[in-house]
Structure 1
Amino acid sequence: MNIAVQAFQVVGGGAVLGVEIAHGLDLVRAVRRGFPVQAVQHVLDDGRLTLAELDHVVMPRKTWSNRKRVGTLTAEQSDRLIRVARVMALAEDTFADRSKAHAWLRRPTTTLGGERPLDLLDTEEGAREVETVLGRIAHGIAA
């Protein structure tokens, strides 16, 4: 399964988003429309993010509260959420264990300047750095 499809599952899949995707371009269209707020709730309920982590890497709590009233996320908020979901899916795939991936994302990493990988997901460039390290780990290169 490709990472776009795995990220789609992290945010609740078709049951939550109300669409099915076959490849990344389908996901792009869903992001542009804006995800339903249930996608965020799914990630929270599933234990993949805490409210504090959501506040840091996706959107402030006050914004989350407002979006719940509206019912949908903006395209930008959806993009940030799927970025986090993509890296989580990649980490879970790399470690072949959700709990190990969860722990790795929250542990300071020397390769990332002593930062926690999850804390870097607030920017696209930070996410790319984390993905690069995960790629090195997956290929057995010292990270």
Structure 2
Amino acid sequence: MVAFAGDTGELIHQMRAGTPVRAIAGVAAKLGVSEEKLFELLRLPECNMNSRIVKDDLLSPTEQDRIYRAEKVLEKALAVLEDRDAARTWLRQSNRSIGGEAPLELLDTEVGYELVMDTLGRIEYGVIS
């Protein structure tokens, strides 16, 4: 399941309409983590998320943005590292170039997301080892 797909206009419309909470399962599976681990990494309260899952509710704008960031970072990591296992590992392991944190742990803020995307861009162009 692709949580966020389509051209930019379609994606904006989809996000404004709300993203079903069931999108979390697809993103967690793509990242190779449990839903609970994804909640922890993205700093989403597990009890709130589980309640939304039971109700088959929509994600809040904040939750939606964090899930979107995780999916976009995974796509970029796959493009740069060209291997699903390598991309998943890179996203979950602490990294000196981003302050010793795992890239997925930084996706709860826009600044952290930008740092992770910038780091992947530097890897892509050979600026970072």
Same fold (TM over 0.5): yes
User: Residue in 2 aligned with 1:67?
Assistant: 52
User: Residue in 2 aligned with 1:35?
Assistant: 19
Q: The residue matched to 1:41 in structure 2 has which SS? A: helix
Report matched runs for 1:1-143 at 5 Å: 12-13=1-2, 21=6, 23-50=7-34, 51-57=36-42, 59-68=44-53, 69-143=55-129
Identity of aligned residues (%): 30
Deviations 1:62-117 (A, max 9, x none): 11112111422122221211111111111111101110001111121111111111
Q: CA deviation at 1:58?
A: 5.5
Moved over 6 A (4+): none
How big is the alpha-carbon RMSD for the aligned residues of Structure 1 and Structure 2?
Answer: 1.9
Letter in 1 for 2:17: R
* Counterpart Cα distance in 1 of 2:120 and 2:101: 14
Letter in 2 for 1:39: A
Q: CA deviation at 1:46?
A: 4.1
Number of positions where the alignment pairs a residue of Structure 1 with one of Structure 2: 127
Alpha carbons of structure 1 residues 55 and 114: separation in structure 2 relative to 1, 3 Å:
closer
8 Å contact kept, 1:58–1:81: no
Letter in 1 for 2:46: R
Structure 1: stretches of 5+ with no match in the other structure: 1-11
**TM-score, normalised relative to structure 2:** 0.86
Q: CA deviation at 1:124?
A: 0.9
Structure 2: stretches of 5+ with no match in the other structure: none
8 Å contact kept, 2:41–2:104: no
* Counterpart Cα distance in 2 of 1:96 and 1:121: 21
**TM-score, normalised relative to structure 1:** 0.78
8 Å contact kept, 1:54–1:61: yes
* Counterpart Cα distance in 2 of 1:47 and 1:104: 11
